[in-house]
Structure 1
Amino acid sequence: MPLKSLYNYYEHAETLPTHGDFKDRADLIDYEEHRKDLFLHKLSLHPRFFKDAELFEIGPDTGEKTMVYALWGANCHVVEPNRRAHPVLQDYFKRFELDSRLKSLDALDLKQYASSGKDTGRYDVAVAEGFIYTVRPARMWMEMFARILKDDGLLILFHCDKYGGFIELFYKLIHQRIMGLTGMDSLAAAEAVFQSKWDSIPHTRSFKAWVFDVLEDPFVRYAYFYDPVWLCRAMNTHGFRLYSAWPTYDDKSHVCWFKRPIPPEEMLAHQVDTIRRNRLSHMFGRKHTMVHQDKDVERRLKRLLLVSDSLIDTFDTERAEECLELMRWLKQLLENREMDAAPADTERAVSAMGSLIRILEFLQAGQASEAIAFCSENKAFIETWGMPSHFAIFHKPGANAACQS
């Protein structure tokens, strides 16, 4: 039976997928430094903003991120539908002497909370990381956050980007094909293909949790990923304005007189143009900014995403060949197209595409052992992760606010 929500998927897990298992305060402080860098240097929001703020967070799992907001002085009101995560979260707050900052912990899911009509105009900041992109219709949660936030409140979102998600879709394609060719179970296939890749990066969760949270997760699919163009437009419709994003959605090169207010529609147009010219940047996690929007490039990239996604369900040789043709076109585009990219980044992206093409050729030929060996040893594949994870902070202006500059 199809799963209704991401938390339904998580509540049947053997482990809590994002549990960092912090042992002591040093673990928490190390993690806090990572979050401080994200907010201060990438999202342009100083941690002091959270001091004594009334903060609403939905879906934090075991609450590592919530504890950071508490460290920064926020009064945390938490809604986590997976009850199995509650004891871990509560123990964290008690062990790290932050329990005075945990003001409430409820087990409602987002739809239940949204329909309750609670907390109108109550919060200074709302946080939804890791699952919000899976909730449909999006209108429901946009209206909910517009209702519960105070004027001048901020909404912090994490979502998976359609173009940035290409690499993760390709991981799932590889994983499914290797299982089909070898008869391995999910974890064994993942270890054979991805263990070397996983071991190459720092992480706060187990490999098994990553497999559950990415390779096996039915919501890590093209249909659930957001196009930031759509997201910015939809949020504008619901009364929000983009405050910041990582990767950035703003045209940082735009110049105008500092006293001139920029109308929301003009700001949105700049954001749409910036996002569309950075599709390749998001795909590879490195700067590959096109000088101009190119509808044909975007059309082909979208087709590559759709074909790759379809191969996860059924590995069809005809569609695999179409996927290869599109990947060879993309490799050539990276080699020949003039764009704002460092030569070293272009070289890495070209090498990454070459590695993915070789893997798909092995999979198309049914050569599982060759594909596994390549994935375990090829440097370009091991170093390529894409940019699926996007953060966006949206501002809720007051009813009589002037245009934002």
Structure 2
Amino acid sequence: MKIRYVFLLALGLIPAFDAAAFTLHGGLKNESAYFVSGEKRWDKVQNRLELEPEVTFGNWQFRGRGLIWYDAAMDIEPTRAPDLTSAIKRHYRTAAEIKEAYLLYEGDAFDLRLGWQQIVWGKTDGLRMLDIVNPLDLREFILDDFLDSRIGLFAGRLNWYPDTDIEQEIELLVIPDARPAKAAPAGSRWAFATPPVSPGLTLRILPPEEPNWAPKNTEAGLAWRANVSGWDVSLNYFYGWKDAPNALRRILPGVLELKLKHFRMHTLGGSFSNAFGAFVLRGEMAANLKEGIDRLGASFADTVARKTTLNAALAVEWTKYNWTISPQFFIRRITGWEPALLEARTTGFWTLRVATDFMHEKLKPEVLLIADWADGGWLARPKIAYEWSDQITTTLGADIFGGHAGFIGQFANNDRIYAEAEYTF
């Protein structure tokens, strides 16, 4: 049974609970974006319906969040190769997704959630460090809000709140619904670049190896959070699949075979934050054990290395006089690095977020800057939102890319401007 049918079935069962209290929130939203660099055309004219039902019956609740949309740009723009083929249009034209649909039991000292969920561990701006539980839908690179791009996973989630001198909680996760990230379709404007094939070789792509819903693929996690002497701290452990696949490659006479494969890894990490007047200091750390890293080689056995990577993020946020200024620094380092690896020993990003508001918090300008200091790529995301009422908001913005290669720079021809209009209820 498909997820959306389970979601509708749950809604259909709601009337069976005589004492149930039902509420429904949601919204209608148009997101329109136009490419102003490279080939100039509509990127999207997306019309979206969002529904968030909630039912309370005794100590139990049902909470859901579903999205359905139609992208008119796929019918406005002509079909053409290579970036707007019929297959690419089908991928982007319509979608129906369940982001969350779970039962929640609230006890005296614990909460239990069972169903499709978004489980958020990290709190960094624009990029993810500890927020690794839910994979992302990368149909628009990292430009979507994480709330919309996270893929909901079926999980059991237990939060226990011990009665101790300090405020703390322990969280246990079990996820049988292991899934990889969803990449943009090959050939599309948001597809990741692939390395060129050497002259004299023909590329043969083999079926990928991906995790799925099976007992052997189950993911698990454990988190501890507490407030210690004014510091909000956490310790996190996750055993799961790397969202992005590694590229196994094999050279045969006249042929380069390519197989994408996901590998398991252990992640150990933690976070901290504290407020000092107008300043908030926060940071996250994560060590990925046995992470797959692509390397040079000529066979499936030697084109992926398993390494430990050390990752950290540090941010300072200043808020005063209706202004928020938040710089962040990200760094990633591969231990046991070797020249054959297709990733530099040390990589990272700088980010800067500046936001304010005017007209009694109705007019809200903001800009987010992300710079890849290893590859030289950068992304600027200015926007300005106006809240006409508690229910109606319009936004104008732009996504401007710079650089020539790397994680961000490969999209230098994808600058776009956009407008959004949203009604919530």
The TM-score with structure 1 as length reference comes to 0.27
The answer to which structure has the higher helix fraction is 1
* Greater relative contact order (Cα < 8 A, sep 6+): 1
Q: Which has the larger radius of gyration?
A: 2
The TM-score with structure 2 as length reference comes to 0.26
